Structure 1
Amino acid sequence: MSDAALSLEAVPAERSALVLFSGGQDSTACLAWALTQFERVETVGFDYGQRHHIEMETRTKVLARLRREYAPAQTKLGDDHVVDLKGFGRVAESSLTRDQEIKMGERGLPNSFVPGRNLAFFVYAAAVADRRGIDHLVGGMCETDFSGYPDCRKDTLDAMERVLNLGIERPYVIDTPLMYLTKAETWAMTHDLGGDALVEVVLEETHTCYMGERGARHAWGYGCGTCPACELRANGFEQWRAGK
């Protein structure tokens, strides 16, 4: 193990963070934020059989670019972890894990909602964090510009934080820096954290599209342009750019 790795391992748990990192716009903004807030940052990704499995490839490209081009990452970014949750994805089927049209369901939720996905993510992230000696869990959940998923709400994550503290007996803190931001404000935050260079990493490397489309690049990045995730990202980009 290198001296740099040993130095990161020595950072106390309360000054260390594990970022739930999909390689999308929101989790990349959260990772950049965490790298300015903590002395040691690690990442964890989840392979749950998602249709947009390309995010498992793009996330490694984002990490590589950040290590090269984002100064805080060069001294603070530690190990990346990947958790296999394909069994969970098969149980909690949705339009994100099988080939079907994305539309609203009978409960008033889009059928892209994977029941309990974020809850499962945090349970597994907490297990990784316990093993790695990390107290902060960082997620890109937001209840402002979002698809209506109940496991993205602040109340849900506050309850999850308490469950993890009780169930694992570790003083976990769930940090959600995007919780009350619009997508335009997330673009603005990204620019504030890393200027045009970080925005370019988000545009070129991150993946948000539910359909896994990586064809022609749009002004706001890659994607089909019509799924809910693309529409939120594109509209937010245009609003941010118009307000610059």
Structure 2
Amino acid sequence: MTSQHTETEDAALVLFSGGQDSATCLAWALARYPRVETVGFRYGQRHAVELDCRAPIREALACDRLGEDHVVDLAATIGGLGQTAMTADIAIAIGQGGLPNTFVPGRNLLFLTCAAAIAYRRGLRRIVAGMCETDYSGYPDCRDDTIKAMQLALNLGMERRFVLETPLMWRDKAATWALALGLGGQGLVDVILERTHTCYLGNRCDRHAWGYGCGTCPACQLRARGWERWVAASRPPADPLRDIS
């Protein structure tokens, strides 16, 4: 797997779920920082199979820059705040305010707070996360304004100068596939296809061109559309003289 290193003295902590976006962010961080650690969260998610995908992905991306992994159990905390279609066997639908009921209120805010607490103790300045508001489900805690506000709050509350990095913020899923290819070539694309998990329903039985999933939940649909757009854009232009004898 190839990548161009642009080293700084900073070290990074990557929010690493086991999905496409976080795996791409991990590769992105490994290309930039001399030390990279990862953190995952158990929060009662229906697709907890994503946690099983984390170790194989880390193994595939293993290098001397990849440091420790951390797992934080937030199941009781998030589960105690109420059920959503992400944490209970509830049909996925549009809920109050036009948001899908897969939205888990406060989830990303808790993730970033926990990540900052780990980064504080581990001496890590950069916190890398896969939030995106270009091609997403409308979650307010994925917006750039939210991330900037969290960076300010965490820096004030912990007397640190954390930098919250969101390399996918302005990339749609097609551009995320392209970024993966640029970072690690076809080898990284293959890792994402075979080892990551994004499906909200936790389906690891059905293999599609874009990877594993049910194919119908919002996460699968976003991933499939992005794959199709990326593949279409990557095809060489048709040769108008090819069929002329």
TM-score under structure 2 length normalisation: 0.91
Amino acid at match of 1:88: T
**Identity across the alignment (%):** 59
- The one of 193, 218, 221 equivalent to 1:228 is 218
Distance in 1 separating the partners of 2:55 and 2:78: 21
Deviations 1:4-33 (A, max 9, x none): xxxxxxx99x51000000010000010000
Alignment of 1:1-244 (within 5 A): 15-67=10-62, 74-90=63-79, 91-244=81-234
Would you say the 8 A contact 2:100–2:137 is kept in 1?
A: yes
Would you say the 8 A contact 1:190–1:199 is kept in 2?
A: yes
Distance in 2 separating the partners of 1:135 and 1:216: 39
Deviations 1:142-189 (A, max 9, x none): 000000000000000000000000000010000000000010000000
Give the CA deviation at 1:89: 2.3
Deviations 1:59-117 (A, max 9, x none): 111111111xxxxxx12000000000011221142100000011101211000000010
| Higher helix fraction (1 or 2) | 1
Amino acid at match of 2:19: G
> Match for residue 240 of structure 2?
none
Amino acid at match of 1:53: A
Would you say the 8 A contact 1:43–1:79 is kept in 2?
A: yes
> Match for residue 238 of structure 2?
none
Q: Which runs of 5+ in 2 are unaligned?
A: 1-6, 235-245
Distance in 1 separating the partners of 2:108 and 2:35: 23
Would you say the 8 A contact 2:151–2:164 is kept in 1?
A: yes
Would you say the 8 A contact 2:206–2:214 is kept in 1?
A: no
Would you say the 8 A contact 1:92–1:115 is kept in 2?
A: no
Amino acid at match of 2:74: L
Deviates more, 1:53-62 or 1:178-187: 53-62
Distance in 2 separating the partners of 1:106 and 1:126: 30
Q: Which runs of 5+ in 1 are unaligned?
A: 1-10, 68-73
SS at match of 1:107: helix
SS at match of 1:199: helix
Deviation beyond 6 Å, 4+ runs, structure 1 = none
Distance in 1 separating the partners of 2:77 and 2:207: 32
Distance in 2 separating the partners of 1:169 and 1:48: 28
SS at match of 1:215: coil
The structure having more radius of gyration, on CA atoms, is 2
